[in-house]
Structure 1
Amino acid sequence: MSDLYLGGELLAEVERNGFVESRHSGSVVVLDADGEVTAWAGDVLGPVFPRSSNKPMQAVGMLAAGLTATPAELAIISASHRGQPAHVASVRGVLADLPASALGCPPDYPLSDDARDAVVRAGGERSPLYMNCSGKHAGMLRTCAANGWPLAGYLDPAHPVQVAIRTGVESLAGEPAAAVGVDGCGAPLLAVSLRGLAAAFLRLVSAPSGSHPRLVADAMRAHPDLVSGTDADGHDTQLMRAFPTLLSKIGAEGVMAAAVPGVGAVALKIDDGAARPRLPVLSAGFARLGFSLGDFSDMPVMGGGVRVGSVRTVW
């Protein structure tokens, strides 16, 4: 596997037409409101690459380095957006007078089917602006500009903006990064444990009002449509709409982290990188804290346009 991972336990299974179609193992950790581990499965202390679940922490590092941004801008900086028109406009807003050509993320079409189709019908081409991590990259560039740091080379782990971001991530996670990789967007990617990831999310929602961590958490919860979009698979958006105090951020390769102030936090990774077990496992984690995610605990499996099974946790 591409991510650092040591393996876990059986967490979920997919049932179709009365038969178990697949099983998914992984690891999950549950922290209470005081940050104490109350439940876990698998390896929650070994390092993983949280992928885009790191974005809220990276945004905190940017704020600490001098970034100034509105709540909507902080939300898109922390987002894995779908390239919908509002997302692209928000990224342009973060860039302000900085050129889009400075973005170091690869050109792409929007992840949203409707947005992609609109671009193609209009004769548009792939653009770094459409790439789902462009908000994060725009935030990095804006942080560089605020400090007079060079825009060129901003993705080098030794660049001042990446040094500042690493400080922010490590401070929130409460542990040093175990490794530095390269994310799908080309940015440096820091490996931490699932316990560290859950602790970071709990600190984001529990920080004092007006502090950098709280500014990011409040921005994402105030603008959930910018975080993952309004498509059916925009689970961060759906969760934060349904539970306004909850902070959620998915990551590639089966990662997810979420926290609720006064309740606790859950972080998980599915071994094979599958996305569909994430919500049932997350729901099982919050159930151990007495917090119900309702319908998110039972994800349907469709066949021929009707429900023929479900994805359920076995943890």
Structure 2
Amino acid sequence: MSRAAIRVPAHEPLVQLWRDGMVESVHHGSVVVLRRDGTTLFQAGDPDAAFYPRSAAKPLQAVAMTRLGLDLPPELLALAAASHSGEEFHLAGAAKILDLAGLGEAQLRNPEDLPFDPVERDLWVASGRTARKLAHNCSGKHAAMLVTSHRLGWSLVDYLDPGHPLQRAIADTFEELSGESVARVATDGCGAPLFSFSLRGLATAAGRIAAATGTTAESRVAQAIRRHPEMLGGSRRDVTRLITAVPGLIAKDGFESVQVAALPDGTAIAIKIADGTDRARPPALAAALALCGVDPDVLAPFAGTAGPDGLRVTGALAEGLRPVPEARPA
């Protein structure tokens, strides 16, 4: 099994910001689009360098826990794979997951936080509420980790330790689905282990989850995301709107401007914007989905600005398919 190389990624320009006929800012990044058979339809930048997938890896974590016996209804399984906005239904869902095993908010090991969504956060502060563990955008995942560990008789106080049997099983699932060995183990912002691999590996894993059928853990997670995108993100989140707009799509965003998406036939995309800001992520993803045959009219709300000023996809991603060895006919 290969391991992604740890190096400074050779990112390329993907998105430009134009103002009055001149480029004002440029967002570099890397992107890979894989066909259903795993061959490369398109790539730009350095999709084989090791990187941190951040929360874009949460569907993989949800698959691992479901394989271990976590049995949640679809709306709560989507929340287990979520970076939620902190709306009241998200907090209630995370509490419900904990209650399935008789656990409580105090047992969560993620930090206390305010809601992720700016509107929810402002309302929260205006009403005098303070940070809570349930309000953290990762509380659904952490609640699921606790319930999984509880049901298997594993320790709860150290469920975030990379050597904990839960985290070892998650790492094994990452490697199986991505086809790569973990390049490096770090700590995510929520305290959970963060497994590094390549954009190509992340896209490979997402394609396998999206194309899964039957009652497999992969299929259950994919169906939960499709049926309950509001649990995965929130009422005002672009990832929720995109899943709703594109039939059969699964998608997950992550901090530092990571994005993964996959269609039900297994065609998959993974994107990393180099500067870590979110402005360029939606138009880059829309351009990549267009290469996969998704209707441009459906993608228009995510594709940047139509006029002469604003965000424009640039370079190879704007030009369309760029030949790569895997894409050439036999």
Same fold (TM over 0.5): yes
1:5 Cα offset (Å): 4.6
Alignment TM-score, normalising by the size of structure 1: 0.92
CA RMSD, 1 decimal: 1.8
Match of 2:63 in 1: 60
Match of 1:94 in 2: 97
Alignment match of 2:223 (pick from 218, 223, 226): 218
1:294 Cα offset (Å): 2.2
Spell out the pairing of 1:232-311 with structure 2 (5 A cutoff): 234-262=237-265, 264-292=267-295, 293-300=298-305, 309-311=309-311
Residue identity matched to 1:309: D
CA distance in structure 2 between the aligned counterparts of 1:184 and 1:276, rounded to whole angstroms: 21
CA distance in structure 2 between the aligned counterparts of 1:149 and 1:141, rounded to whole angstroms: 9
Runs of 4+, deviation exceeding 6 Å = none
Q: Which moved more, 1:279-288 or 1:186-195?
A: 279-288
CA distance in structure 1 between the aligned counterparts of 2:39 and 2:53, rounded to whole angstroms: 20
Match of 2:44 in 1: 41
1:214 Cα offset (Å): 0.9
Q: Is the 8 A contact 1:279 1:296 kept in 2?
A: no
Unaligned runs of 5+ in 2: 1-5, 318-330
1:130-175 Cα shifts (integer Å, max 9, x gaps): 0101111111001011101111011100011111111111111111
Spell out the pairing of 1:24-35 with structure 2 (5 A cutoff): 24-35=27-38
1:220 Cα offset (Å): 0.8
Residue identity matched to 2:311: V
SS in 2 for 1:12: strand
SS in 1 for 2:47: coil
Unaligned runs of 5+ in 1: 302-306
CA distance in structure 1 between the aligned counterparts of 2:7 and 2:221, rounded to whole angstroms: 27
Match of 1:137 in 2: 142
CA distance in structure 2 between the aligned counterparts of 1:262 and 1:123, rounded to whole angstroms: 47
Q: Is the 8 A contact 1:263 1:291 kept in 2?
A: no
How many positions carry a matched residue from both structures? 306
SS in 2 for 1:299: coil
1:2-36 Cα shifts (integer Å, max 9, x gaps): x9752311111111343322001111001112221
Residue identity matched to 1:42: G
Alignment TM-score, normalising by the size of structure 2: 0.88
CA distance in structure 2 between the aligned counterparts of 1:276 and 1:56, rounded to whole angstroms: 23
CA distance in structure 1 between the aligned counterparts of 2:137 and 2:69, rounded to whole angstroms: 24
CA distance in structure 1 between the aligned counterparts of 2:266 and 2:150, rounded to whole angstroms: 38
